[in-house]
Amino acid sequence: MNDFADRLRSSGKRMTPQRQMILAAVDALGHGTPDEVHAEVCRHSPAVNLSTVYRNLEVLEELGLVRHTHLSDRAPTYHSITGHEHFHMVCRRCHAVTSLDPELLGDFVERLRDEHGFVPDIGHLTVFGTCVACASA
């Protein structure tokens, strides 16, 4: 958390108690929408409102302390940068979310770079489909 506080200070911002609680909530959830982060924060401090959570998630993402991706057609889902870099696979039937190592995309990423001069943001990538359990049901 000290690295995060240092990063905030170097950008001219402070590590407020609300930001600390929001970072802790994102970390505890693994992946969470703003509503889920808000619910987690409210378990410890009911005084924090939803708009505070949204505002602070934006600030924390601008500073590279959290990331977001879209795991559904609804609100973005945030996750901590303290975990490993990963992308997501989501089953459209059971909604199971699996975090996957970016090495699986090695050839794909290489081709994008070599053939198109493009470097993708793998942490923002979500692949939708049907898991084996749902496909065989």
- Which domain CATH number covers 69? 1.10.10.10
**What are residue 27's phi and psi, to 5 degrees?**
-65, -45
User: Looking at residue 2, what is its pLDDT?
Assistant: 59
Q: CA 44 to CA 20: how far, in whole Å?
A: 12
Verify that 72 and 91 share a domain, yes or no.
no
Q: Show the DSSP H helices in 11-102 as ranges.
A: 17-29, 34-42, 50-62
**One domain, residues 92 and 74:** no
Same domain, 56 and 107: no
- Both structure tokens of 117: 């001069």
If asked whether residues 95 and 39 sit together in one domain, one would say: no
Residue 45 shares a structural domain with residue 76: yes
72, 54: one domain: yes
Looking at residue 83, what is its pLDDT? 66
Structural domain boundaries, residue 70: 2-80
pLDDT tens-digit map of 16-33: 889 999 999 999 998 899
| pLDDT range class, residue 4, cuts 50, 70, 90 | low
